Every structure is written in structure tokens, then in C-alpha cells.
């Protein structure tokens, strides 16, 4: 799992987003929010910091999920991270 957390963190850094983030916290947030969701596509919004909103585009499947896009909106700046590339 540590490799997955690091991959999330690395993709976010590559987008130019400079605030420190935890891949584990992001993964845990997604898991918590999709718990008991039916299979399908979802847009999920989280606020990790007072001035920052994370928007996840997620596909929920029977035993797994796919985070395809994360958009971070911070003080008018937008960072788009495409995890499918």
C-alpha cells in the first residue's frame, strides 16, 4: 500500500501543487466516502484545508475503485491530476 500512497503523492506534486499531502489520507478519505455506494461513477468533494477543495472522479466497482481524476482547487488555482495517464 505504501507504493500506492507514494504514487498518489508523486502525481499530485507533478501537477505543480506545492502543499504537502498524504496519499494515505487521500486514499482513506475516498474509501470512507464510497463505503456502501453502488457500482457506478461518482464526483466526490472533500475539503482537506480551509482554502482547498479536492474533487475526485471515481468509478466504484464490486471489490475496488478507480480514481481517474483529482482536481484540487486552492485560492483560485486549479490543479488537475489524471491518474489514468
d(CA 41, CA 56): 10
Pairing status of strand 77-82 against strand 40-49: unpaired
What pTM does this model have?
A: 0.90
pLDDT tens figures, 65-78: 999 999 999 999 99
Query: What is the spatial distance between Cα 1 and Cα 49, in angstroms, rounded to a whole number?
Result: 24
Query: What are residue 49's DSSP bridge partners?
Result: 52
Q: What confidence score (pLDDT) does residue 38 get?
A: 97
Sign of the dihedral defined by the CA atoms of residues 71, 73, 76, 77, in that order: negative
Tens-place pLDDT, residues 26-58:
999 999 999 999 999 999 999 988 999 999 999
The grid coordinates listed for 65 are 475503485
What single-letter DSSP state applies at residue 28? H
Residue 33 backbone dihedrals phi, psi, to 5 degrees: -75, -25
Amino acid at each position: 500500500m505504501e507504493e500506492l500512497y507514494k504514487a498518489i503523492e508523486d502525481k499530485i506534486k507533478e501537477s505543480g501543487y506545492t502543499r504537502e499531502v498524504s496519499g494515505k489520507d487521500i486514499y482513506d478519505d475516498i474509501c470512507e466516502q464510497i463505503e456502501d455506494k453502488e457500482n457506478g461513477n461518482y464526483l466526490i468533494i472533500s475539503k482537506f484545508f480551509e482554502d482547498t477543495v479536492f474533487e475526485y472522479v471515481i468509478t466504484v466497482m464490486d471489490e475496488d475503485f478507480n480514481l481517474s481524476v483529482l482536481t484540487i482547487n486552492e485560492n483560485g488555482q486549479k490543479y488537475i491530476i489524471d491518474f489514468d495517464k
